[in-house]
Amino acid sequence: MGALIEASGLTKQFDELTAVEDVTLRVDQGQILALLGPNGAGKTTTIRMLASILPPTRGTAQIAGYDVLTQAHRVRQSVGLLTEHHGLYTRMRPLAYLGFFGRTYGLPRADAEARAGDLLERFGLQEDSHRRLGHFSRGMRQKLALARAMLHDPPVLLLDEPTSAMDPASARMVRQSIQALRTSHRAIIVCTHNLAEAEALADRIAIIRKGRIVVLGSPQDLKQELLGDPIMELRLSSPLDGAVRALPRGIEPLECGDTWLRYRTSNPEKANPRVLEAMSRAGLSVVTLSDVGRSLEEVYLRVVSDLQPGEEVRR
Amino acid sequence: MTADTRRYLGFREAVGLIAGREIADQLRDWRILTPIAILTLFFPLLMNFTANKATSFVAQYGANVVADRLIPFLLMVVGFFPISISLVIALESFAGERERLSLEPLLATPLTDGQLYLGKMLASLLVPLMAAYLGIGVYLLGLALTVHWSAPPSLLAQVLMLTTMQALVMVSGAVVISSQTTSVRAANLLASFVIVPMSQLIIGESLIMFWAQYAVLWWIVFGLFIVAIILGRMGMHLFNREELLGREIDVLDIRWVWHHFKSAFIGRAVGLGSWYAGVLKVSVPRLWPSMLFMLVAMLGGYWLGIRMAGQYQIPPDLLQADSIKVDLLNQMRNFGLMSGRGWWLVLANNLRAIGVASLAGIFTFGILGVILLMVPVGLIGFFFGNLSLAGFDAFRYVVALVVPHGVLEIPAAILAGAAILHLGMSLVSPPSGESLGESWLSALAEWCRVCLGVVVPLLAAAAAIEVFVTPLVAALLLGGG
C-alpha cells in the first residue's frame, strides 16, 4: 500500500517557540492514524502544515504525492479538513453553505448540491436544511463541518476533534461514518482527546508532546511496549488457599484478592492452559480466567507524564 | 462521482464566488442594510432640501455663486457617505472571520491568496459603492424635479470617479489592516490610518469644489488610483495564510522591537569604524534605486519651478536682484548668517525639513516625503526662472547662491529622500520571510544609519559652507561689498 500522508522531520517555529519539532509519520491508503496529545502539544499545527495552511520551517511532507510547500494548491484540493473550531457562516443555510464550499473545491454547482444533499442525509441533518446555521446546536454544527470536509471526496482526511461537543448517539454516528470512509484509497488522521475513540478507530496511534512525536505504533504494540506483557486474572469459586503455591513454575502472582489472583505472561496461549491444569490438579474450581483489559488511557498517561524532553522516541 | 467533474476554478469565477457569498451575507444583515438605506434614500433627500433652501436663501442676497458651488459639493458628499460603510465592512473582512473562527476552513480550500484577497475586497466595495451611485441618482433626480438643475456630464463623471476611487482606497487600506490584525477591535483602532488621511482629503476636495477648480479633481482621481494600486499591491504581498492563523500580531512587544531595531542598526559592526564602513558599503549602496528616483524627482521639481515661473511671473521691479549687490556681506551678517548661531539655525532648519519629510513619508509610503523635499528645489527653480525672465544671468546666481553649499546639501537631501522612500516602501513589499513589523523596523534602522552616518554630517558641513563660504562667493560673483 502506498503512503497518502508522509512527513519527514516536519518542524514549525514561531519566532522563538518551536510548536512542532521533527515530526516524521506515514499513513498508508486505508489507514487511520490517531494523533493524541495534551492541549498545546502541536497537533493542530501539525494538521495545518499537512493541510498546506502553514508552511513548515523545516522538513517535508507529501499529501497524496504532492509537496505541501511547493504544491500547496494541489494539496488543499486533496485534503478534507475538519478544523478544531467548526467556524460556520451562521447566516447561511446548510445546503447553501455546503454548496459554497463545494464550489471552492471546483465541484460544478449541481454536483456540489447533490453531494451536499447526500451528506446532510447521512448525518441526519436533512430535516434541518431550512434552518440557518446560527440556530444549529453545537453537535449539529460539528456534523455539518464534518460534511464540509467530506464534500469533495478527498483522498486525505484530517479531522481535528471530530466528535467533540456531540451527544453519544451523534458521536457514534460520526465514528461509524469515519470507519466507513476508511477505504482502500483514503488515509485519515484523527486528532482527538477521546482515547476510547482513538482506540476504536485507529490502526496506529501517535502521541505528541511538546511538539515531538514521542510514541507511534498500533494500540496493541503500544500497550505491549509501554505497559508490559498482558495481565491475566484467575477467579476461583473458593478462597485462594493453596492456589498461589499451585501455580506452575514461572508464573508469579502480581496481585491477590480473597478469591482471585493476577499474573503477567508474555505468552498467554501457553501459560493459561498450564495454569488451568495446575488448578484442576490442586482441586480448585476456576470460575473465570481472563485478560485484564488495559486501556489506551494508561498508555497515554504514562507517556505524557513519564517522558522527559529529549527522551528517545519509541516506535 | 465528484472526481470526474472536479476542476480548478478560474480566477474571476473564484473571486466572484467569495464576493458573492459575502455580499449575500451583507444583504442579510440589518446592521449594514439600515445605514445604507438611510444614506441612500433619506440622506440625498435631506441634501436636496438643504440645497433648495440654501439656493433660495443666497439668491435673496444675489450670492448665486454660493449655490452654484454648494450643489456640486453636496453631490460629492452624497456619494461619500454611503462608501464610508465600505470601511467598516472591509475592516471586518479578515479580522471578523478570524474572530468568528470561520477563516481556517476558507484558508484550507484550494483558492489562491489572490482570489481570497480580491474576493474580500470586491465584497467590501460593491454594496456601499452601488448605494453611493443610487444616492447620487436620488439626489440628482430630486434636484432635477425641484430646481431643474442637472449636473454637467464632466462634473458627474468626476464625482462618480472620485467616489469610486475613494471607496477603492478606503477598502484597499482597510483590507490591509484587517489582514494584519487578529481582532475587529484592533482593526478598528488602526482604522485611523485610513480615516485621518481620507478626512484631510475630503477637506481638500471641499475647498477645491468651493473654489470651482474642478480640473484638479482629475488629479485627485489619478492620485487615489495610484494609492489604491499601491495599497492593493501591499495587501497582496502581505497576505499569507500563516500571518492570518499562526501569529499573534496585535501585541506590542517593546523588547522584541528594540532587539530587532538594535540588531538592524548595529549590523555586524564591532566598533564605530566597522559600523561606519557598513553604512558606506552596505546601507548607502542599497539605496541606489531610491536615490536615482530622488534625483529624477528633484530635477522634476526644479523643472516644475521653472515652468511655474513662466505661469506666475513675479513683476521684475519686485525682484530687486540688483540690491543684492549693495553691501551684501553686511546684509548677511545682519540677517544672522556668518556666525555660529547662523550655522545652527541653518542646520536646524534642514534637520527639521528632513524630520517633517520623514514623518510625512511614513504615512504615505514615502510619497509625501519625496514631494516635501522637492519643494525647496522647486522654489529654487521658480526663483531662478523668474530671474531669468527678468533678464538677469540666472546661472551666475545659481553658482553664487546655491552651488557652494548645494554640492553637499543636495546629495544629503537625495540620500535622506531615498531613505524615506525606502522606509515608506518597506510597508508595501517586505522582503520574503519578514513580517510587516520586521520589514518596517529594518527600514527604520536603515534610515537612522544613513541619516546619522551620512546625511547629518553632510548637512552640518553644508550649513557651515552656506553660512561662512556662500556669502563670500556670492559677494565675489554678484559684486557685493
Going residue by residue through chain A, which has 315 residues, state the pLDDT in tens, using 9 for 90 and above: 588 999 999 999 887 788 999 999 999 999 999 998 888 889 999 999 999 999 999 999 999 999 999 999 999 999 999 988 888 998 999 999 999 999 999 899 899 999 999 999 988 888 998 999 999 988 888 889 999 999 999 999 999 988 877 788 888 888 888 888 887 689 999 998 888 888 888 899 998 988 999 888 888 788 777 777 888 899 988 887 777 788 888 888 888 888 888 888 888 889 999 999 988 888 888 899 998 877 777 777 777 776 554 444 444
Neighbours of A286 (CB within 10 A): 14
A281 touches chain B (CB under 8 A): no
CB < 8 Å to A45, chain B: 246
Single out the residue in B246, B280, B297 at which a domain terminates: B246
Q: Tell me which residue range forms the domain holding B6.
A: 2-246
Q: Select the residue of A85, A89, A153 nearest B3 (Cβ to Cβ).
A: A153
Are A165 and A252 in the same domain?
no
The 10s digit of each residue's pLDDT in B214-254 is: 888 998 999 899 889 988 888 888 777 776 775 555 566 78
Are A215 and A182 in the same domain?
yes
Are B158 and B303 in the same domain?
no
Are B77 and B195 in the same domain?
yes
Are B135 and B263 in the same domain?
no
Q: Please indicate, yes or no, if residue A307 is contained in any of the structural domains.
A: no
Are B45 and B123 in the same domain?
yes
The verdict on a CB contact (< 8 Å) between B2 and A104 is: no
The verdict on a CB contact (< 8 Å) between A105 and B7 is: no
> How close does chain B come to A287, measured CA to CA in Å?
56
Are B181 and B268 in the same domain?
no
Are B228 and B279 in the same domain?
no
The verdict on a CB contact (< 8 Å) between B2 and A92 is: no
Give me the mean pLDDT over the B397-416 stretch.
92
Check if the beta carbon of residue B428 is closer than 8 Å to that of residue B234.
Answer: yes
Cell numbers at A45, concatenated: 499545527
Q: Please indicate, yes or no, if residue A306 is contained in any of the structural domains.
A: no
Residue B429 has a pLDDT of 76
Q: Select the residue of B6, B102, B108 nearest A51 (Cβ to Cβ).
A: B108
The verdict on a CB contact (< 8 Å) between A54 and B245 is: yes
Residue B2 has a pLDDT of 41
CATH number where A101 lies? 3.40.50.300
Q: Select the residue of B21, B101, B110 nearest A73 (Cβ to Cβ).
A: B110
Q: Which regions of chain A does DSSP assign to beta strands (E)?
A: 3-14, 17-28, 32-36, 58-63, 66-67, 79-82, 156-160, 187-191, 204-209, 212-217, 231-236, 253-256, 260-264, 286-291
Q: Please indicate, yes or no, if residue A90 is contained in any of the structural domains.
A: yes
Q: Tell me which residue range forms the domain holding A283.
A: 231-291
Are A131 and A278 in the same domain?
no
Are A121 and A145 in the same domain?
yes
Q: Select the residue of A14, A101, A145 nearest B109 (Cβ to Cβ).
A: A101
Single out the residue in B193, B218, B246 at which a domain terminates: B246
Are A39 and A141 in the same domain?
yes
Q: Please indicate, yes or no, if residue A239 is contained in any of the structural domains.
A: yes
Q: Between residues A301 and B46, which one has the greater pLDDT?
A: B46
Residue A301 has a pLDDT of 77
Q: Select the residue of A48, A92, A105 nearest B245 (Cβ to Cβ).
A: A48
Are A197 and A235 in the same domain?
no
Instruction: Give B96's contacts (C-beta < 8 A, 6+ positions apart).
Output: B178, B184
Single out the residue in A186, A205, A224 at which a domain terminates: A224
Q: Please indicate, yes or no, if residue A298 is contained in any of the structural domains.
A: no
Are A115 and A153 in the same domain?
yes
The verdict on a CB contact (< 8 Å) between B242 and A51 is: no
The verdict on a CB contact (< 8 Å) between B102 and A115 is: no
Residue B314 has a pLDDT of 82
Q: Select the residue of B3, B5, B17 nearest A108 (Cβ to Cβ).
A: B5
Are A210 and A272 in the same domain?
no
Q: Please indicate, yes or no, if residue A196 is contained in any of the structural domains.
A: yes
- In a mutagenesis test of the B interface, which of A44, A45, A53 is the best target, namely the one with the most B β-carbons within 10 Å? A53
Nearest CA in chain A to B109: A76
Length reported for chain A: 315
Number of independent structural domains in chain B:
2
Are A68 and A212 in the same domain?
yes
> How close does chain B come to A187, measured CA to CA in Å?
17
Q: Please indicate, yes or no, if residue A74 is contained in any of the structural domains.
A: yes
Are A258 and A210 in the same domain?
no
Are A155 and A119 in the same domain?
yes
Give CA separation, B322 vs A122, B238, B318, B319, in Å. Answer: 97, 58, 11, 8
Are A41 and A157 in the same domain?
yes
Residue A273 has a pLDDT of 92
A14 touches chain B (CB under 8 A): yes
**Phi and psi (nearest 5°) for A40?**
80, 10
Are B173 and B80 in the same domain?
yes
Give me the mean pLDDT over the B200-225 stretch.
89
Q: Please indicate, yes or no, if residue A309 is contained in any of the structural domains.
A: no
Q: Any idea what DSSP says for residue A178? A: H
Residue A310 has a pLDDT of 45
Neighbours of A3 (CB within 10 A): 17
Q: Between residues A314 and B329, which one has the greater pLDDT?
A: B329
Chains A and B: how many Cβ contacts under 8 Å? 96
Are B168 and B299 in the same domain?
no
A4 touches chain B (CB under 8 A): no
Mean pLDDT estimate for chain B: 86
A88 touches chain B (CB under 8 A): yes
- In a mutagenesis test of the A interface, which of B29, B115, B241, B249 is the best target, namely the one with the most A β-carbons within 10 Å? B241
Residue B1 has a pLDDT of 41
The verdict on a CB contact (< 8 Å) between B110 and A54 is: no
Number of independent structural domains in chain A:
2
Single out the residue in B246, B266, B289 at which a domain terminates: B246
Torsion over CA: B469, B471, B474, B475 (sign): negative
Are B377 and B270 in the same domain?
yes
